[in-house]
């Protein structure tokens, strides 16, 4: 079997993804998690498309084994798969404005998709446009902390990986 695709770069990225999954499990400020940053970073830095989806989504699933499963897993995982795609789009042009834009876009995608799922599948809000807007309005406080978490963890992951690449020249070549 050919194992040449396992490089120091892949091992470091995988370590960052495992760290992010662990950060979901340990006590943290509500909604201040690395989940979307995990997906964006994995999409941007994992060269093989199947790894870009597999590692972040598997890390989410494994952490959900500890946190518990819920009725909204499909929209949650779908939104994170879309964030992986955002990362794939910026793969060849990873710069600060694109990381910030990816963070904002990923947070907004997650917010719109998951709160629409709550609106559609629960009795909390009427199935009207006003009900959808109420669902979004009620979720705004959660969006603020999630957005701050996404920005923080994206800065940590993308910035940390950038500095590691400066110190470990073999990673630049991978």
| CATH number for the domain that contains residue 100 | 1.10.1760
Residue 2 counted as domain residue: no
- C-alpha dihedral sign at 89, 164, 150, 70: positive
Q: What pLDDT is attached to residue 5?
A: 67
In a domain, 1, yes or no: no
What is the rounded CA–CA span in Å between residue 33 and residue 106? 13
* Residue 165 domain boundaries: 8-169
pLDDT at 129: 97
Residue 85 falls within a domain, yes or no?
Answer: yes
Does some domain include residue 143?
Answer: yes
- Do 169 and 54 meet the contact criterion of CB atoms below 8 Å apart? no
pLDDT of residue 1: 61
In a domain, residue 3? The reply is no
Q: DSSP for 7-58? A: -HHHHHHHHHHHHHHHHHHS--STT--SHHHHHHHHHHH-SSHHHHHHHHHH
User: Would residue 42 count as lying in a domain?
Assistant: yes
What pLDDT, on a 0 to 100 scale, did the predictor assign at position 81? 95
The answer to whether residue 100 is domain-embedded is: yes
Distance CA 130, CA 168 (A): 54
In tens digits, the chain (174 residues) has pLDDT values of 666 667 777 788 778 778 878 888 888 888 888 888 989 998 998 888 888 888 888 888 888 888 889 889 999 999 999 999 999 999 888 999 999 999 999 999 999 999 999 999 999 999 999 999 999 999 999 999 999 999 999 999 999 989 888 887 776 644
Total domain count for the chain? 1
Continuous segment of H or E residues that includes residue 169: helix 169-173
Q: What is the pLDDT of residue 166?
A: 86
pLDDT of residue 140: 95
């Amino acid at each position: 079997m050919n194992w040449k695709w396992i490089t120091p770069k892949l091992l470091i990225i995988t370590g960052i993804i495992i760290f992010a999954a662990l950060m979901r499990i340990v006590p943290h400020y509500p909604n201040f998690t690395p989940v979307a940053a995990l997906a964006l970073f994995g999409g941007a830095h994992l060269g093989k498309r199947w790894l870009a989806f597999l590692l972040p989504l598997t890390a989410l699933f494994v952490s959900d084994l500890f946190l518990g499963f819920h009725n909204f897993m499909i929209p949650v995982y779908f939104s994170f798969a879309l964030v992986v795609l955002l990362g794939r789009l910026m793969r060849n042009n990873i710069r600060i404005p694109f990381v910030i834009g990816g963070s904002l876009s990923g947070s907004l995608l997650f917010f719109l998709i998951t709160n629409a799922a709550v609106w559609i599948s629960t009795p909390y809000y009427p199935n009207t446009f006003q009900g959808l807007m109420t669902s979004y309005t009620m979720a705004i406080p959660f969006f603020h902390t999630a957005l701050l978490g996404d920005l923080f963890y994206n800065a940590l992951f993308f910035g940390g990986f950038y500095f590691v690449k400066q110190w470990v020249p073999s990673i630049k070549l991978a």
